[in-house]
Amino acid sequence: MTEREETISELENQVITIRRDILTMIHAARSGHPGGSLSATDFVTALYFHFMRVDPRNPDWPDRDRFILSKGHACPLWYSCLAERGFFPVEELLTLREINSRLQGHPDMNKTPGVDITTGSLGQGLSAGVGMALGLRLDRRDARVYVIVGVGELNEGQIWEATMAAAKFGLDNLTAIVDYNNLQLDGYCHEVMPIEPLADKWRAFNWRVLEIDGHNMSAILDAIETAQATRGKPTVIIARTVKGKGVSFMEDECDWHGKAPDDGQFSQAMAELGGSNGGGKGGEGDLPPRQASSSHSDAQRVASAERGTPRSNTCGERVPTRDAYGEVLVELGEENPDIVVLEADISKSTRTCHFARRFPGRFFQFGVAEANMMVAAAGLATTGKVPFVSTYAVFGSMRACEQVRTFIAYPELNVKIAVSHGGITPANDGVTHQGTEDLGIMRTIPGMTVIMPADYYATKALVRAAAAYPGPVYLRFTRDPVPIIYGPDDLFEIGRGKVLRQGDDVSLIALGDMLCVALEAAEELAESGVSAEVIDMHTIKPIDRELVVETAAKTRRVVAIEDHQIQGGLGSAVAEVLGEDLPTPMRRIGLQNTFAESGRYDLLLSKYGMDSSAIIGAVRELLDQECEGHNEQVHDS
């Protein structure tokens, strides 16, 4: 066997180890993205175990090669390579997506050794690569930058802006590798947003283009060596791959984009892969079974809740509000032929897939391109249509913020922006997918109505109200299941809050998934003799000023409760009303000027001071404050 053949054999064995690691950690976490991790394993393994100059003992070594996983959801692949190279113990892979873990749901440069840039929001990694390549060249460092780009990301305009810039600056120390597995979350590339002729496009942007079989190790080595030898221009390697590679029932199936295998599937997958964990270069032994971990049973409980199994608490069965949105959207489509839906390659997640199946002629798939989608919705609205634009909260409010402001809100167009994954409810996905600033951003835009329903029935009613409401509306839904509080006959009006529980000692004003938490706190307070009024302020713009003042005058103490930063959202809206109309002692429950992290939802609420105990603590502070003030007055007299 030649030296080259030995290298290829070693790398192919390492690929098996990495794939086994990927499946083991995703199965243990009960969530994650196996499909795209498995498709990119061969060439990422080649980079980390043959080409890249990195030092696990000194992750910040200035002369190291840089690696960027622009398709950040495939981070299990990256984490496995880092662990097997010795950046952290292999056993730590089993902490994927757990609270306090260094291995977040998407790559996090603040937490994980060896991660040079945070990613997860698609379409942006190549721009970071351009910046790194420029910086290394300025410092005259003989280091290279490798960027792994997902095929779906090529829908996003920023990728092509970065492509132009890299060619302009002649960044021959930059190599992009496209994981061309031909699948996106919503289906095949040619169905979601055709990208061919792909090689010709990169050539037109003055890149060197290499096309290979992304699972042929010899071809991978040849291509990367060619890229390293190229001078005067950047190189792109278009690697034709198979999503879910190595596992028969996952291969070429888009449903395996973002779900974990169950126990039986995991056993079958590991048997198909063969080999053993830790068998490659840098391995440190087999991963222990997650069943021994205390968090495994917790993960099972969460999985049960996501399937709609009721939990015993003061509220009812748990259902994600995005489910109700998908259902009522179909109902509205039956009633109003002017309703159209625009989607950004996540229709299965936002639940607009139901509308797509029922009304394919009124469903428009824009791929991973939120800015384009928002302005297209504005155009549709000018023709008399009622567009519902669906994406995640973090993308709809931030990536497309200028488009929303200038093209939808300023002309007062009748566009409904309906976002899922609001707040920290996409708990395991981590910071990049937790929209915790969106309500504040949307609330500052003139003319924008901002709504977050609390449960399934509130969602169905308020989406209907939004469809009939003139002008732009921002509707925020949860990814994770939330308890059912209301019934099918409950009535809702935009701009009018609802009193769910009468009280005399303190007012708990909440919205969305935090309403049930507020109700739980009110019950606990009642046991100690404190009477709490609970209000669902589902519309924070326009806020129900009359109700805010009325309840504050009645109880003399207010706590605002939201799954959001305490700046800009519900707490700020309530404080503004009270500051102007009736100054009242108050506290705000929410994220306190911090980002959250991956982890189980209830544990995140506890860690960040947003659970019922935190609410009760805030109430106690207000009560103690009044007692102290009263005692001081008595002492002074």
CA 543 to chain centre: 28
Average of per-residue pLDDT across 86-110: 96
Mean pLDDT value of segment 378-393? 96
Distance separating alpha carbons of residues 92 and 80, to the nearest angstrom: 10
Give me the pLDDT at residue 281, please.
36
Note the pLDDT of residue 310: 29
Residue 629 banded pLDDT, cuts 50, 70, 90: low
> Given this chain, do its domains 318-483 and 498-634 carry the same CATH topology?
yes
| Spatial CA neighbour of 248 closest among 273, 280, 227 | 273
> For residue 44, is pLDDT > 80?
yes
pLDDT value of residue 371 = 93
pLDDT of amino acid 313: 37
Superfamily of domain 318-483 in CATH is: Thiamin diphosphate (ThDP)-binding fold, Pyr/PP domains (3.40.50.970)
When pLDDT is averaged across residues 80-98 and rounded to a whole number, the result is 97
Residues 251-306 have pLDDT tens digits of: 999 999 999 999 999 999 999 999 654 333 333 335 655 443 333 333 332 333 33
| Class of residue 620 by CB neighbours under 10 A (exposed 0-12, middle 13-18, buried 19+) | middle
Please indicate whether residue 548 or residue 313 has the higher confidence score (pLDDT): 548
What is the band of 23 on the pLDDT scale with cuts at 50, 70, 90? very high
Residue 558 has pLDDT above 70, yes or no: yes
Q: What is the mean pLDDT of the chain?
A: 92
Domain 3-292: assigned CATH number: 3.40.50.970
3-state helix vs strand vs coil in the chain, percent to 5: 45, 15, 35
**Kind and range of the H or E run holding 505:** none
Q: Where are the domains of the chain?
A: 3-292, 318-483, 498-634
Q: Is 527 a catalytic residue?
A: no
Q: What does the pLDDT look like over 391-415, one tens digit per residue?
A: 999 999 999 999 999 999 999 999 9
CATH code reported for the domain at 498-634: 3.40.50.920
Catalytic residue from among 370, 437, 562, 597: 370
The model's pTM: 0.86
Mean pLDDT score, 220-249: 98
- Residue 286 is predicted with a pLDDT of 54
Q: Cα–Cα–Cα angle for 228, 233, 236, nearest 5°? A: 65
* pLDDT tens-digit series, residues 495-540: 999 999 999 999 999 999 999 999 999 999 999 999 999 999 999 9
| Bridge partner list, 178 | 149, 238
